[in-house]
Structures are given as structure tokens and as C-alpha cells.
Amino acid sequence: MKDLTKEIFTMLFLLTDARYLLRTHKFHEGGRYLPRGELMRILVEIKESLKRVEDIIERDDYLDVGGMDIVEGLEVRTIEEEYININPIQVGGRLTPEAMKAIIAYADGYSVCDWCLKPFRLDRIRRPQLERFHKELAEFIGMREARLVPGARRGFQAVINSVARDGIVVVSSLAHYTEYLAAEEAGAKVYEIPVGENNIIRPENLEEKITEIKRKMGEEPDLVIVDHVDYQYGNLHPIRDLSRVAHEHGIPVLCNCAYTLGIMPVDGRKLEVDFIVGSGHKSFSSPAPSGILGIGDEYVERVLSGSRIRGDISGRTYPNKETSILGCTLMGCTAVAMMASFPRVKERVRRWGEEVEKANHFCQQFLRIAGNRVLSEMPRRHTLIRVDTRESFDKIARGHKRKGYFLYEELRNRGITGIFPGATRIWKLNTYGLSWDEVRYLSETFIEIAKKYGIEVQ
């Protein structure tokens, strides 16, 4: 761990200890319950923590702080402080500074429930302004209603349980495993749309699949799930055209925007879909587990219906609680962290074009290395990139004493991390959020490693 990183964590922890003292010895003026002497003692203790922070700041050299485990077995995570991270699933979920601050302020369990008044629902809380956030979020994604859910998978689950329980769900053959499991949990069968040319899901493939299902099963599917951008190739699929095919058959469409909502523009109305599902921890600079479920006009009542159950003894009912999402979903810092990231997220989706430019720049450079291939569609329309290095880095791996780990280690030694340890054949990276300087450095580093091992570079 670099010294500066260590120092910053040390200071954060000292401040945390000071804050904890404050919490455990109430300093509320109206309710002083400790003897004055005791209060003074605590104050001195707090000041001492703050003084130690000051000492760290004032030192010219770096402080050599010892082990940094929070509790035994729980180390501090410093990857984002110390490395350029190109991990395909992590880059869009890195927190904004506002989200970090929200977590500091709202980390206690049911922290957003202080002002939860009738009808006692997360999306109706006005302090903090979660109600407004939900409304703005629905607008942002072009849907009638929006709800926060613990991960995209819980969004699939809520929709499938509402419109396709024990039914038939069509997914693409590039679908994420959570789509299959959400269907399974709801007792639904899954059928896959084959991929067309270039690993793109084509409308005609969907049409054929629906016809085939009808012929074999005697009924039409209850739901079609299409990935806006799939997780395997990072390819952008023709959602509106796919949706039109499904709608001709009267089948609702869920667009899985796990890799898009929060990093590129997503508008459910333009896509002509009935549901939008996004992942907070993948693409919305939010902590896990978090996600977004957007619902179009026609399905609001079906998916967000109030509970109808009644206790047989108490006679209690919960008509205000939405059954499909089990009432409330993200009851604390996850919800406010999403809200805190929202302004920057709105801003960053407008800069998507430049992110794609950087991904294309990387690909151009990466392809200068003899044997390298990009398996994703080209030019790139997304920053997730699937590459094939079987004819380049994998050949080196075969003769290297560290085998496949050599590439991971060469990158790591140069301050880059996030590729799968041991991967030298077919693997993925994501350039999202890197600055131009970082993208250039990343490209040059691959070239430098290639040259080091005698791979030709054009």
C-alpha cells in the first residue's frame, strides 16, 4: 500500500473514532447527562484524535502506519486509490465523492427512516428527498415509475413474478445468468434467441423464436428480456426493433440496462420497452446491492400492485406496500448514495460519446500488437471490450514460468489491474471512466509488454 493511501485511511479512521466518541457521549446541549468532568475528558480524547490527524498532515515524510485491518481478516481496499482499474464489472460502479459522503452520513441501518411518514414507503420519503429522486429517476429513464431494488436481478425477479410467473420468458443467448435465475425462481421456462451475425440479436431471430415457441408449446411467451448491451461482447443491440417484434405479438419487453443505465443515455420511451432494469453497483456509481426498476404506463398496476394479504388473527392488511418488491427495498445508505451520485450520473451520460472514443482509441492501439483480436463489434459503441490474445500473449504464457499469470503481473507492476488473473486467451476489459492520459498509458503499457516479449508491434 502506498504511504499516502495509508495515511489517508489512517486519518479517516482517526476521524471515525472521534465521531464514534461523539456518538457515544451525547453533546446535545439540551440533554447533558454526563458530569462536566467526564465531558471534558471525552472532549480531550476527541481533540487528541484530531491532533493526530494534524500531525500526519504536517509531517514532511510519510508516516509508517502499521497493519490497517479494520477487524481481523478485513483489510482496507485500496485498488481504486492505487491502480488504474479496467475490471469489466467494476468501473461504472465506482462511487462519486458525493456517494462516499452520503455513506459516511447515512451508514446506520435504517437511516432514511427518520421521517418516514404515511404511507410508509421508501419512494414517498421527503426527508431526505427520496420521493423527488424517484420521480426524477423515472423521468431520466423515460418511464412512468421508478423503484430502487437491490440489484438488477431483483428487478428481473419483480417483473417476471408479476407478468410471467410459471410462464415463458425469452432471453437472448448472450443473457446474464441472473435473468435465468430470476425466471427459475418465478417458475418460468427460459428460451433463448440465437445470436445473429456479429453477435448481435436480430429482430428476425426473435420473430422465429416466438413462432417456434408457439408451435412447440401452443402458447406465446409472457415476457421478452433483451440486453441493451450484453455482458459478453459489450455489443449494442437493436432494442426498439426487437421490441416492435415482441409487441406485434402482444408480449411485454424488459430491457436489461445493467451495462448502460447510468453511463450512457437510456430512454425507455425511445426504446419502446415496457420495463427498464439497471444496476446501481455496475453502472450508477452506487454501492451494492442497488438497482433501478423502471416501469412503463401499461404495467404500473400489475407490477406495483399493493399487498392484498390479510392476517387471519390480527386482520392486518398492507395495501400501501408493493408486493413485488416486498415493501421497502434499499433502506439506508445504498438509497441515499444513489441519490447523491445522481447529479454526476446525469452529467456523465452526456459525455458518453467521449468514453466511446477512448474505447476505440484503445482498440486501435491494442490491435497494433500482432495476433491481438477484438471480438466485440467494431468500431466500439460501448467501453466493455472482449479481446482474444491467443495468438499473442497466450503464446508467451505457454513458455513463461508464471504461465498465464504473467500478463496480469506485468500489468499490475505497471499500476494497472482488473483483468482476470491468469487470463491470456479470451478476456474482457472496460475503459469506462479513464482519462485520456490513462487510456494512452494503458495502450502504451500493453505495447510495452508485447515488445518486452518480442511480439511484433505495427
Ligand X SMILES: *Cc1c(COP(=O)(O)O)cnc(C)c1O
Shortest reach from residue 169's CB to ligand X, in Å = 14
Site membership for ligand X, residue 273 (CB under 6 A): no
Site membership for ligand X, residue 283 (CB under 6 A): no
Site membership for ligand X, residue 176 (CB under 6 A): yes
Site string for ligand X, 188-227 (x = CB under 6 A): ---------------------------------------x
Spell out the residues 6+ positions from residue 335 whose beta carbon is closer than 8 angstroms to its own: 112, 122, 130, 148, 290, 329
The nearer residue to ligand X, 10 or 90, going by C-beta atoms, is 90
Q: Which of 140, 233, 259, 408 binds ligand X (CB under 6 A)?
A: 259
Site membership for ligand X, residue 157 (CB under 6 A): no
Under a CB-based contact definition with an 8 Å cutoff, are residues 385 and 234 in contact? yes
Shortest reach from residue 95's CB to ligand X, in Å = 15
Length of the chain counted residue by residue: 458
Under a CB-based contact definition with an 8 Å cutoff, are residues 254 and 273 in contact? yes
The nearer residue to ligand X, 175 or 423, going by C-beta atoms, is 175
Q: Name residues contacting ligand X, limited to 94-113 (CB under 6 A).
A: none
Site membership for ligand X, residue 133 (CB under 6 A): no
User: Beta-strand (E) ranges in 326-436?
Assistant: 373-374, 384-388, 416-417, 426-430
Radius of gyration of the chain (CA): 26
Site membership for ligand X, residue 291 (CB under 6 A): yes
The burial class, CB within 10 Å (0-12 / 13-18 / 19+), for 256 is buried
Identify the three-state secondary structure at position 440: helix
Under a CB-based contact definition with an 8 Å cutoff, are residues 407 and 421 in contact? no
Shortest reach from residue 6's CB to ligand X, in Å = 31
Site membership for ligand X, residue 279 (CB under 6 A): yes
Site membership for ligand X, residue 151 (CB under 6 A): yes
Shortest reach from residue 58's CB to ligand X, in Å = 43
Ramachandran angles phi, psi of 285, nearest 5°: 45, 50
The nearer residue to ligand X, 134 or 281, going by C-beta atoms, is 281
Site membership for ligand X, residue 282 (CB under 6 A): yes
**CA separation for the pair 254, 157 (Å, rounded):** 11
**CA separation for the pair 328, 444 (Å, rounded):** 48
Stretch that binds ligand X, among 149-157, 183-191, 204-212, 334-342 (CB under 6 A): 149-157
Stretch that binds ligand X, among 137-145, 151-159, 420-428, 443-451 (CB under 6 A): 151-159
Under a CB-based contact definition with an 8 Å cutoff, are residues 363 and 385 in contact? yes
Give the residue among 360, 342, 348, 350 at the shortest CA–CA distance from 436. Answer: 360
Site membership for ligand X, residue 348 (CB under 6 A): no
Site membership for ligand X, residue 178 (CB under 6 A): yes
State the residues that interact with ligand X by CB under 6 A: 89, 151-153, 176, 178, 227, 231, 256, 258-259, 279, 281-282, 291
